[in-house]
Amino acid sequence: MNDIKEEQQDLPEVVGLKKQFGDGILEVSKSLDCTVVMVRCDRIVEACHYLKDQQGYEQLMDLCGVDMSEYPSFVKEDGRYQVVYNLLSIQHNKRLRLKVQVDARQLVNSVVEVWPTANWFEREAFEMYGVIFNHHPDLRRLLTDYGFEGYPMRKDFPVEGRVEMFFDDEQWRCVYRPNAVENRVLIPKTWPGADRG
């Protein structure tokens, strides 16, 4: 799976990552806006330290989860989820995207020690996708209620949710009840490039 294309050979961060981590770098590709590097899960913290300290990627702009289960290229053995790290080097005016492929029960080491801003991003990825970050200082829910069950951004989560909240005048408080709304999908799913010839 070591698939470094010819045009990425001259990028210093790609050459440095490959030299430093060897088989820890699984794949390198070029997207529309930046280079994308697939990193082995157990090497992500080391790779982030290297990119920050040696290559000047001083900012983690975003960290998010992706549920790959409905993508046409999804292979179950690779892991259902991706954790995506969007990095920015202000001094070199460059962006880099790191990806880690994990399954539902696999732990991903936290990068809070590298970029403290990852704290809230990792909490959101945990809450929305169920990705568990090892050594995270405070892995609690951030956007949903403490009693909330499930992970809303997973593809198998009901679009309407499992419960609905309403105000009960008799009890004079908000209460939950099972959701009675039916799932209606009016727009078929399309994939960029798959249906445009």
Q: What is the pLDDT of residues 142-194, one digit of tens each?
A: 888 777 788 889 988 877 667 777 888 999 988 888 877 666 666 666 666 65
Listed in sequence order, the residues at least 6 apart from 67 whose beta carbon sits closer than 8 Å to its beta carbon are 80, 81, 129, 153, 154, 155
Q: What's the topology of domain 6-141?
A: Beta Polymerase; domain 2 (3.30.460)
Q: Where are the domains of the chain?
A: 6-141
Question: How confident is the chain (197 residues) per 10-residue block, as mean pLDDT?
Answer: 46 85 92 91 95 94 94 87 96 94 93 96 94 93 82 82 81 83 65 55
* Alpha helix stretches (DSSP H) within 35-181: 44-53, 118-129
What is the pLDDT, as a whole number, of residue 7?
A: 44
Give the number of other Cβ atoms within 10 Å of residue 44's Cβ.
Answer: 22
pTM for the model stands at 0.79
SS3 141: coil
Listed in sequence order, the residues at least 6 apart from 98 whose beta carbon sits closer than 8 Å to its beta carbon are 36, 37, 38, 39, 44, 47, 48, 51, 84, 85, 87
